């Protein structure tokens, strides 16, 4: 439209074919009041999915300000495990069952953005909302199969909204302070979990960071040292058997430097996470259900070389 205003639009037609082969265990499984059997873990199945998606959006730039907005419809084909699974997921030690009659996941979304940037400061806010007529997700149940809790791939109407925001400011020529935060609200509008949150929904999160940049003496790149504090909110909106999870704060530090060595550009990055050894639980992790806390103090050193 002009140097300041950009508009975009698109339309797309998708057709996807999914074929899941039948699978049986190679070992016998005892069955109550019957002989042992080679248990079927995935039945034979074929699916064809079609969808029409579209989007319309625009961006406007005026001086230090940038504004953008988009509205559209998206589409996701069910994954093989979502329609055909019937067994233990050993990565997270739970029993998962697929639903063969799942429909493609569709979403109507609206997202916007506002940013203000100068040489000394930066500010941005990005709100969004989504409506899913048939959101696909993993629903925990009260049942147990083969000694593990049963989770069922299902779908229902879901509404979500949230935002991401952040700001940074150079307090001194080489000292920057930054803050950032994110929030997500999700609610099921139908199905067995109507009125509740989505399983494994993250709580709000905010962070504060200080970073000091050292000037480069050899032209290979500035070095830096930084310290951050991450604050995670309490999670009370749960889907049983999830447990309410207390909020927590973590202190992290990092430092890095690039330098020249025998004609190559080298870099080193040192990081320390959860420096105070805070005991906490990650509400979005499977390990929360079995009362395993998050990692304690962690230290890492990363080395890089450009050939």
Task: Tell me what pLDDT residue 218 has.
Answer: 62
Which domains can be identified in the chain, with CATH numbers?
5-306 (2.40.170.20)
Q: Which residues of the chain have pLDDT under 70?
A: 1, 34, 217-221
The torsion angles phi and psi of 288, rounded to 5 degrees, stand at -60, -40
pTM of the model: 0.86
* 272 within 8 A of 252, measured Cβ to Cβ: yes
Please give the pLDDT value at position 221. Answer: 65
Written as one string, the DSSP assignment of the chain is: --SSEEEEEEEEEEEEEEEE--EE-SS-EEETTEEEE--EEE--EEEEEEEEEEEEEEEEEETTEEEEEEEEEEEEPPPHHHHH-EEEETTTTEEEE--TTPPPEEEEEEEEEEEEE-SSEEEEEEEEEEEEEEEEEEEEEEEEETTEEEEEEEEEEEEEEEEEEEEEEEEETTEEEEEEEEEEEEEE-SSTTTTSPPTTPPPPEEEEEEEEEEPPSSSS--EEEEEEEEEE--B----TT---B--EEEEEEEEEEEEEETTEEEEEEEEEESTT------TTSGGGTTTPPPP--EEEEEEEEE-
- Predicted pLDDT at 263: 78
CB atoms within 10 A of CB 138: 19
pLDDT for the residue 145: 82
In this prediction, residue 94 carries a pLDDT of 84
């Amino acid at each position: 439209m002009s140097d300041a205003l950009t508009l975009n639009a698109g339309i797309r037609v998708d057709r996807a074919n999914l074929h899941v082969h039948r699978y049986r265990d190679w070992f016998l499984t005892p069955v109550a009041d019957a002989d042992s059997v080679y248990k079927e873990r995935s039945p034979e199945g074929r699916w064809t999915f079609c969808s029409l998606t579209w989007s319309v959006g625009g961006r406007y730039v005026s001086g230090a300000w940038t504004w953008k907005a988009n509205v559209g419809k998206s589409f996701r084909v069910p994954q093989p495990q979502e329609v055909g699974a019937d067994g233990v997921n050993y990565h997270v030690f739970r029993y998962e069952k697929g639903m063969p009659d799942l429909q493609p996941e569709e979403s109507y979304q609206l997202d916007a953005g506002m940013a203000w940037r100068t040489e000394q400061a930066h500010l941005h806010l990005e709100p969004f909302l989504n409506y899913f007529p048939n959101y696909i997700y993993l629903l925990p149940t009260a049942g147990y199969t083969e000694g593990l809790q049963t989770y069922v791939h299902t779908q229902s109407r879901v509404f979500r909204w949230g935002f991401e925001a952040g700001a940074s400011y150079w307090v001194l020529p080489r000292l920057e302070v930054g803050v950032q935060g994110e929030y997500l609200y999700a609610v099921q509008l139908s199905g067995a979990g109507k009125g509740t949150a989505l399983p494994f929904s993250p709580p709000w999160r905010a962070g504060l960071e200080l970073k000091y940049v050292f000037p480069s003496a050899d032209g290979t790149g500035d070095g830096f040292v930084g310290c951050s504090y991450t604050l995670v909110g309490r999670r009370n909106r749960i889907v049983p058997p999830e447990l309410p999870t207390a909020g927590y704060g973590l202190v992290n530090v990092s430092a890095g430097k690039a330098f020249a060595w025998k004609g190559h550009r080298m870099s080193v990055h040192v990081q320390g996470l959860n420096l105070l050894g805070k005991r906490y639980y990650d509400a979005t992790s499977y390990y929360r259900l079995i009362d395993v806390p998050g990692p304690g103090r962690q230290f890492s050193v990363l080395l890089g070389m450009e050939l």
